[in-house]
């Protein structure tokens, strides 16, 4: 279910008559089960402190459509609506707030799984940000077989940075979803052939994207195979069993992450619309993500 932002945010009317809550409906049981688990673990107060929009109540209805009593936010906007007005002076606060959210979620073993501009709410003057729409979130592999991979690879943080990169750095008007990397691999091979001294360092940086449990898991050996063959000219450079959903998902994630890091570390600055944000993302990845051991 895609949350309608004009329901989460109330932008008009008499201040005295503004509603404090609204009823969100979902036809999917996953979101109901997710919030029920959060309340059972008594995580709701901590998540609220970090800016997560948590339901007031789950007791309204526990059958289709599943209902939640949600907080109504007043005077806010989605990050998508604020993108054009986002200024460099606001980058530190935005990144710090989002990182604290994702670190809290990660420590609790939660993967949001649907981070994009419309699911991040900004209060006036970027004083605070909130995260909404946990419709496909998971807290265990039982909810999502790829849960551990997304958790260990910091997928939520990556999606946030990728959205900012596409929107502000590259100047794209909508999210870039890429499924074919064949031309990119030709470019990568050409670049690293011209800069062989950078390949070892790049591989080291690439692995730092991922938490240690992923490096030590079977995903780690798949990552080694990926890095060993990524610059190969062979068409069947990765031994993926076509019917094995998890393997295909892992290598797709590795391709996306490789592509993103390549853009950050190897892109010509003449192609960048917002050089300050580009440098800030690069700094954030190296000084915050790569140094985080959690």
Confidence bin at 5 (pLDDT 50/70/90)? very low
Q: What is the mean pLDDT of residues 118-145?
A: 84
Question: Given a cut of 60, is residue 120 above it in pLDDT?
Answer: yes
Residue range 94-117: mean pLDDT, rounded:
93
48-61 pLDDT tens trace? 999 898 887 766 55
pLDDT band at 263 (very low <50, low <70, confident <90, very high): very high
Q: Is the pLDDT of residue 123 over 70?
A: yes
Is the pLDDT confidence value at 156 over 80?
yes
Q: Is the pLDDT of residue 113 over 90?
A: yes
pLDDT of 6 over the 70 cut: no
Does 111 have pLDDT greater than 70? Answer: yes
- 17 has pLDDT over 60: no
Query: Would strands 66-71 and 73-74 be described as parallel, antiparallel, or unpaired?
Result: unpaired
Task: Give the Cα separation of 121 and 112 in Å (integer).
Answer: 15
- In sequence order, the β-bridge partners of residue 131 are 52, 120
Is it the case that residue 101 has pLDDT exceeding 50? Answer: yes
Output the pLDDT for position 31: 83
Domains, the chain, in order of start with CATH, read: 5-144 (1.10.510.10), 182-289 (no CATH)
pLDDT at 73 over 80: no
pLDDT digit string, tens, across residues 166-193:
888 888 767 667 777 888 999 999 999 9
- Residues contacting 128, CB < 8 A, separation 6+: 51, 97, 122
User: How far are the Cα atoms of 128, 151, 283 from residue 254, in angstroms, in the given order?
Assistant: 32, 14, 21
Q: In what order do the strands lie in the sheet with 57-61?
A: 21-26, 66-71, 57-61
CA angle 29, 7, 105 (to 5 degrees): 55
**CB neighbours of residue 27 within 10 Å:** 9
Q: What is the pLDDT of residue 292?
A: 83
pLDDT at 200 over 90: yes
Determine the pLDDT at residue 148: 93
pLDDT number for residue 3? 40
Per-residue model confidence (pLDDT) at position 241: 60
pLDDT of residue 288 exceeding 60, the answer is yes
Quick: pLDDT tens for 209-237.
Answer: 999 999 999 889 989 999 999 998 776 77
Predicted pLDDT of residue 240: 61
Q: Report pLDDT for 265.
A: 94
Residue with more model confidence, 247 or 160: 160
Distance CA 92, CA 271 (A): 23
| pLDDT, position 1 | 35
């Amino acid at each position: 279910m895609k949350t309608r932002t004009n329901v989460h945010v109330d932008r008009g009317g008499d201040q005295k008559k503004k509603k404090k809550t609204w009823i969100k409906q979902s036809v999917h049981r996953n979101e109901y089960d997710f919030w029920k688990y959060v309340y059972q673990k008594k995580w709701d107060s901590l998540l609220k402190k970090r800016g997560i929009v948590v339901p007031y109540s789950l007791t309204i209805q526990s059958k289709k459509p599943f209902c939640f009593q949600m907080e109504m936010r007043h005077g806010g906007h989605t990050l998508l609506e604020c993108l054009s007005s986002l200024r460099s002076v606001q980058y530190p606060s935005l990144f710090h707030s989002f990182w604290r959210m994702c670190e809290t979620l990660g420590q609790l073993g939660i993967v949001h799984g649907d981070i994009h501009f419309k699911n991040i709410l900004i209060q006036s003057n970027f004083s605070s940000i909130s995260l909404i729409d946990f419709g496909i979130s998971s807290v265990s592999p039982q909810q999502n077989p790829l849960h551990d991979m997304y958790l260990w690879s910091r997928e939520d943080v990556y999606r946030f940075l990728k959205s900012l990169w596409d929107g502000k750095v590259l100047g794209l008007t909508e999210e870039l979803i890429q499924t074919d990397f064949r031309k990119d691999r030709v470019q990568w091979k050409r670049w690293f052939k011209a800069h062989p001294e950078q390949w070892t360092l790049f591989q080291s940086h690439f692995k730092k994207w991922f938490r240690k449990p992923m490096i030590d898991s079977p995903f780690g050996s798949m990552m080694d195979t990926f890095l060993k063959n990524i610059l190969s000219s062979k068409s069947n450079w990765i031994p993926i069993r076509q019917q094995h959903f998890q393997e295909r998902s892992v290598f797709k994630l590795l391709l996306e992450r490789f592509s993103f890091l390549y853009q950050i570390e190897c892109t010509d600055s003449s192609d960048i619309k917002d050089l300050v944000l580009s440098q800030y993302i690069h700094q954030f990845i190296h000084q915050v993500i790569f140094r985080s051991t959690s």
